[in-house]
Structure 1
């Protein structure tokens, strides 16, 4: 049973971390560069819409499930020690950076963007875009890198299990 828990937790952590890393990577490589090429109305309105809709079971299950599964995977490997535990703890540390940046930077920016009001009622779209876009993109780049690093650590942990 313990081996099953180890396997399921590590596989689940890898899957959920990979999904989150992929989402943030897509924003870094396609969504935000695409929106950067548009006007303020399009960027602000689109981001408001995305921010309202991303809070769903699919996203929250992966985003919040990943650190839970990472912690379970690390705890399940405590008695064994070795490289699997080291890689899993490293993945957890990287993922906690992702959570921290999201909670302390991207979510407050999203909330402030929503508080600016409906896009057709914002008098200074250029000003709203100015304080939102660059900061949000920087934060997303950090959480992209940290979540991809967490995913890479989990791939290393899976490979170490085979060895």
Structure 2
């Protein structure tokens, strides 16, 4: 084994960065699942939609983009930097990448289109009850799924850190 690859500060920093950005993503999705959406669920229909719309508008910012977009990029980079090591670290990184890509796919296929429906209905929210019925249950269900996939990715990245000779 080439010792540069086994002890590279770059490979370790990339793996730590992947774990950090994925952890931030998982934490955000967890907070939505267990605090934000249950809290919004106590509001009336128009108030619920208006509040969600404002949260959605606020979350579209560079810091969130850095964490959400950085997670798969850094996970892939960590995988590539650890290719020569092989073994368990590579398996954990592959699983982490698959799980965070699943998180992003769910976000792109389900959550973002639902968010766009809320954005396009604002500010009037005509027939707020019907819109909420089409939106809330599906959004919450798929957010829980992507919470599980992102937390799973964090667990895999943690295992990769423990399995890495750079640790």
**TM-score under structure 1 length normalisation:** 0.95
Tell me what 1:148 maps to. Answer: 151
Question: Residue 57 in 1 paired to residue 62 in 2?
Answer: yes
Question: Residue 130 in 1 paired to residue 133 in 2?
Answer: yes
Tell me what 1:78 maps to. Answer: 83
Kept in 1, the 8 Å contact 2:46–2:128? The answer is: yes
SS at match of 2:140: helix
Question: Residue 139 in 1 paired to residue 105 in 2?
Answer: no
Alpha-carbon shift at residue 117 of structure 1 (Å): 2.4
1:42-94: CA deviations, max 9, x gaps?
21011100111111111000000110000000000111101111101100000
4+ runs deviating over 2 angstroms: none
Q: Distance in 2 between matches of 1:56 and 1:146?
A: 23
Q: Distance in 2 between matches of 1:20 and 1:83?
A: 24
Alpha-carbon shift at residue 123 of structure 1 (Å): 2.4
Tell me what 2:102 maps to. Answer: 97
**TM-score under structure 2 length normalisation:** 0.93
Where structure 2 has 5 or more consecutive residues not aligned to the other structure, the ranges are none
Tell me what 1:20 maps to. Answer: 25
Where structure 1 has 5 or more consecutive residues not aligned to the other structure, the ranges are none
Q: Distance in 2 between matches of 1:106 and 1:4?
A: 37
SS at match of 2:84: coil
Equivalent residue pairs, number? 161
SS at match of 1:127: helix
1:6 corresponds to which of 7, 11, 21: 11
Q: CA RMSD in A?
A: 1.2
